[in-house]
Each structure stands twice: as C-alpha cells, then as structure tokens.
C-alpha cells in the first residue's frame, strides 16, 4: 500500500467542487469521475449532493450505473452525501418511477424528508467515531427510515417524531443525509479517508 490515495468524486451532476476542496484539505488527491474509465485506479469514491433523479438518469445514459455498482460491490469504498446517499440506497421512497439507485447500502431512505429548500438548516451533531459534534448542513435532505442487517447508525438528529437517522455505515459504504462538504469541518471526510485506508489494508474498519 502507498500512503497516497486517489478518491474520485462523481461529477455527472451536483456539488463536486466542495468535496474536492475537502479532499485537498486532507492531503488526498481528488479526481472527477464522469466516465467508466475514470473508475480505474481509484481508492474510493464520493457521490455528492444534487438532484438524485437527474443523477440516476445521467448515470444510466452515460453507461456508468452498472460499472459503478460493480466497483462498490467489489469493495470500492463509497461515501454519499444527501442525493449521494439516495443513489447508494437499496430502497428509495417518494421518488420518480423511472429513478434508479445502486442498491449497495441496505437502507430505505425517503427523499426530501426534511422539507423544501426554505426549510434548510445547519446544526452540530454527535457522530460515532468523531470526538466532538460535527457541522451538518441539511438542504432538502433525505432521512433513513429502515436499516438492513449490518448497517450501523453513526448520527441522528432530534425531530418532532423522535430521533431521525441521518448517517449510516455498512462495511465500506458510508452515507449522510447532510452536507459536511458545505462547512469548514472536514472530519466526516477524514473519517471516510480512514475507511479507505482500512480497505487498502484489507479490512473494513
């Protein structure tokens, strides 16, 4: 294993630059992934926020959907934020009939569960594995409504109906409902980088 990691950021739609900035702040090389050949040589991949139905359509049109699914199933560490979490999920509620997901994270998520754009908010949340609360920005965010076997809850947010799950991990796959990349706090990305290093060493953390 080399110390230098290369982590891709899916760049078919959505907020790419912010994730690249976070990777740079951690001394990790970030590259944009738009085509199948861009998956070659990656140590991990980030699926950014954006519009999940548009992202899924572009993944399918560009022929990237199945190669990306196969790469993650074969062990490529993946981290999805907001729409990225939706794309990773096995089951998606309140989405378009023609939308697709990768099905590599055994959770059920509901799109736009936190309301419209005007309902966006920022808060600080305890995150398992990180010593102090992380900065979290919620923008038309999904929520996790059901967990499959082997999925760990890393973070919840208090709501009117009780605690809502907003960050999960299943082996080498990580997902958050919120946008850590829209803050100056790079510790969730650092958590993912350590997941990638664990995978490089032959484990899943």
Q: Is 37 a catalytic residue?
A: no
Distances from the Cα of 11 to the Cα of 49, 116, 155, 161, angstroms: 10, 24, 26, 35
**What are the tokens at 48?**
């950014």
One of 19, 172, 179, 189 is an active-site residue; which one? Answer: 179
One of 18, 82, 155, 172 is an active-site residue; which one? Answer: 82
Picking from 15, 177, 156, the residue whose alpha carbon sits closest to that of residue 88 is 177
97 annotated to bind ligand? no
139 annotated to bind ligand? yes
Q: Is 189 a catalytic residue?
A: no
Q: Is 181 a catalytic residue?
A: yes
Distances from the Cα of 155 to the Cα of 113, 116, 162, angstroms: 16, 22, 13
Residue 121 is classified by DSSP as E
Per the CB < 8 A criterion, the answer to whether 120 and 137 are in contact is: yes
Report d(CA 193, CA 107) in Å as an integer. Answer: 22
In which element (H, E) is residue 67 found?
A: helix 65-73
140 annotated to bind ligand? yes
One of 18, 155, 172, 181 is an active-site residue; which one? Answer: 181
Q: What residues are labeled active site?
A: 82, 179, 181
Residue numbers belonging to the annotated binding site for L-glutamine: 50-52, 111, 139-140
Residue numbers belonging to the annotated binding site: 50-52, 111, 139-140
């Amino acid at each position: 294993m080399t110390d230098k990691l290369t982590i891709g950021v899916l760049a078919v739609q959505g907020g790419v630059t912010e994730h690249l900035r976070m990777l740079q702040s951690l001394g990790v090389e970030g590259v944009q992934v738009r085509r199948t050949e861009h998956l070659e040589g990656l140590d991990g991949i980030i699926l950014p926020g954006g519009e999940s139905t548009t992202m899924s359509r572009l993944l399918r049109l560009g022929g990237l959907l199945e190669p990306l699914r196969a790469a993650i199933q074969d062990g490529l560490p993946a981290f999805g934020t907001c729409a990225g979490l939706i794309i990773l999920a096995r089951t998606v509620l309140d989405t378009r009939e023609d939308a697709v997901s990768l099905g590599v994270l055994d959770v059920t998520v509901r799109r736009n569960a936190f309301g419209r754009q005007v309902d966006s908010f920022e808060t600080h949340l305890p995150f398992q594995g990180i010593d102090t609360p992380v900065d979290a920005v919620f923008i038309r965010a999904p929520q996790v409504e059901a967990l499959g076997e082997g999925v760990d809850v890393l973070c919840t947010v208090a709501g009117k109906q009780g605690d809502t799950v907003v960050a999960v991990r299943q082996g080498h796959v990580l997902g958050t409902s919120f946008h850590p990349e829209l803050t100056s706090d790079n510790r969730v990305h650092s958590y993912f980088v350590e997941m990638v290093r664990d995978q490089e060493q032959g484990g899943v953390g």
